Amino acid sequence: MTAFGENLSAFYAVIRRDFHVFLSYRTRLVSQILTSVFSLTLFYYVSRLIRVEGFTTPDRYFGFVVVGIALVGVLYSCFAVSETIRQELVAGTFERLLLSPFGGVRGAVATAIFPLTYAFALSSITLGLGVVIFGLELHWSTVPLALPALFLALLAFLPFGLIFTALTIATKQANVGASWIIALLSIVGGLYFPIALLPGWAQFAAEVQPFTPATELLRHLLVDAPMETSVGLALVKIVGFAEILVPLSLYALYRAIRLGQRRGTIIEY
Amino acid sequence: MSGVLTEADFEFELPAARRAEPMPLSLRGVSKAWDKGRVPVLNRVDLDIDVGDRVRIAGRNGVGKTTLMRIAAGLIDPDRGQATVWGTSAVEHPERYQRLVSFLPAGDRGLYARLSVRRQLDFWARIAMVPRRQVAARVEEAIEIFDLRELADRRVDRMSMGQRQRLRIAMTFMPHPDVVLLDEPLTSLDGEGAEILFGAIERLLDKGGALLWCSPAGEHLEYEFDRTYMLVEGRLVRA
């Protein structure tokens, strides 16, 4: 048995654990789908009011915002890992991860996989409901390309969640400021409106995080929205952010755990 | 054929770490203070536990027994000194260390409330890096040995405290560690559960393992230890 096989088995165990815990809450999926339907309904009727430059028809804005709604769920799931780890600290199960050869860093990364996969599924359902109920027009020829693009985007988003997990381990507080970050990224990432509407200084903020190019690229691939930059440049930005942020976040997580072990506070919650 | 014997000429094989260092568990000069400038809770503690040893540490509440166990388990670092298992340092090689040692923390935490016993064991076996092909067999073995058959498909939050403790003990022994550290293992256990635990310890020792047991002073124990130490003012004193 190779180390790779053992690691694969451990990652699988964490994903399966989260899947079974999820299944044990029987109404969760239904309630989340209903939330998506309510959001879609709200923005469908808001979009009926939109007839401005950039959105020639209400349907153009609806397509624009549905992708934003789908992505905000993915963004939330990236930050969800820190809340899960906080619960694990309280339950003493994070201690179990630390007492295993798998360890805390890999354990935390593995813990992020199910929520991300689930968020991806829920985003797909949201888009599907948009198509079926509200007549959203997807650009089917490029829709399959959204899958690898979203995977790259997740690699760039996930580090935010891991850095917040490191903060949670260090401070014992869940999601310190995470809701502010999510709100801020929703604004500067152009989730509900084009970033061109923002003042100049805020547009700078739109350039220094991966959410803006990812949103723009996915909109282009899913609903054929025009891009401010080229597809290639958006991809370069996403990959660049991922390359910098993934090792940085893993290091932050490792340091937070080691600091807790050195001080002896890792067992506190 | 050359006259030089190689490892392959022997019927058995010892892990490399065992050949280099004879002690299954060794604590050297371990010190820990919870607040800087205050009296350390552990003060240059030395302890060697050999193959087949059953060692107990006792002491008053809050004297530092659990801190010592956590350091021995590699969960927290000492301020000074080090814990090694077969010469492997808990701080320098945590992954290798955790393959050799297994720790039952005190209390009833560390279980996923909404997972069944079987799923819990399967999860722990994989996290403990039990070879994939052996996972199912180890889970069944643990269910059998720790008498969890009737509870196997029951969720943890629907089990009694004693049943949960039996599951926690099963998880501790399941990876077949060399060294087992038990912090107040009899908590909530009935007589039958205690007998099962003692049986598991004997099997561990028969296979060349070692045991470090920690419980409060004055606890009535129907179990024989090779050595008992009292932890007094940060030092181990032979009882």
- Whether residue A214 contacts residue A156, with contact meaning beta carbons closer than 8 Å, is answered with yes
In a mutagenesis test of the B interface, which of A7, A96, A105, A259 is the best target, namely the one with the most B β-carbons within 10 Å?
Answer: A96
Predicted pLDDT at B17: 44
Extended beta strands in A47-204, E state:
none
Q: What is the pLDDT of residues B126-154, one digit of tens each?
A: 999 999 999 999 999 999 999 999 999 99
Q: What is the pTM of this model?
A: 0.90
Of A193-207, B24-38, B88-102, least confident by mean pLDDT is A193-207
Specify the CATH class of B39-238 in words. alpha beta
**How is residue A41 written in tokens?**
């309904």
Predicted pLDDT at A207: 83
On chain B, the residues whose CB falls within 8 A of the CB of A99 are: 73-75, 98, 102-103
Beta pairing partners, A55:
A52
- C-alpha span between A228 and A231 (Å, rounded): 9
Q: What is the pLDDT of residues B3-18, one digit of tens each?
A: 444 444 444 444 444 4
- Decide if A87 touches B, using CB distance below 8 A: no
- State how far the alpha carbon of A99 is from the alpha carbons of B85, B92, B175, in Å: 14, 14, 12
Q: Is A67 exposed, middle or buried (CB count within 10 Å of its CB: 0-12, 13-18, 19+)?
A: buried
Predicted pLDDT at A173: 82
Closest Cα partner for A93 from A193, A171, A23, A17? A17
| Residue B20 pLDDT greater than 70, yes or no | no
Length in residues, chain B: 239
φ/ψ of residue B32, rounded to 5: -155, 130
| Stretch B61-80: mean pLDDT | 97
On chain A, the residues whose CB falls within 8 A of the CB of B181 are: none
Tokens 């899960």 belong to A84
Handedness of CA B108, B114, B120, B124 (dihedral sign): negative
In terms of phi and psi (left: phi > 0; alpha: psi -120 to 50; beta: otherwise), the region of B64 is: left
Beta pairing partners, B183:
B214
| Stretch B80-102: mean pLDDT | 96
- C-alpha span between B205 and A223 (Å, rounded): 66
Of the pLDDT bands very low, low, confident and very high (cuts 50, 70, 90), residue B38 is: confident
- Whether residue B208 contacts residue B51, with contact meaning beta carbons closer than 8 Å, is answered with yes
| Residue B35 pLDDT greater than 90, yes or no | no
- C-alpha span between B117 and B21 (Å, rounded): 37
**B103 vs A269, residue with greater confidence:** B103
Instruction: Say whether A10 and B129 touch across the interface (CB within 8 A).
Output: yes
Predicted pLDDT at A176: 66
Side-by-side strand order, sheet with B101-104: B101-104, B179-183, B210-214, B54-58, B227-232, B235-238
Closest Cα partner for B100 from B214, B215, B208, B13? B208
Interface ipTM: 0.89
- Whether residue A126 contacts residue A36, with contact meaning beta carbons closer than 8 Å, is answered with yes
Chunk chain A into consecutive blocks of 10 residues (it has 269) and report each block's average pLDDT, rounded to whole numbers.
86 97 93 94 94 87 94 90 94 96 97 95 95 96 95 93 94 79 87 88 85 94 92 95 96 97 93
Locate the chain B residue with the closest alpha carbon to A6: B129
Report the relative pairing of strands B80-85 and B88-89 from DSSP bridges: antiparallel
Tokens 């020829």 belong to A141
Q: What is the pLDDT of residues A103-131, one digit of tens each?
A: 999 999 999 999 999 999 999 999 999 99
Q: Please tell me the distance in Å from B180's CA to the nearest CA on chain A.
A: 12
The domain ranges of chain B are 39-238
Q: CA angle, corner B194, sides to B48 and B199, nearest 5? A: 65
**How is residue A124 written in tokens?**
């797909």
Predicted pLDDT at A1: 54
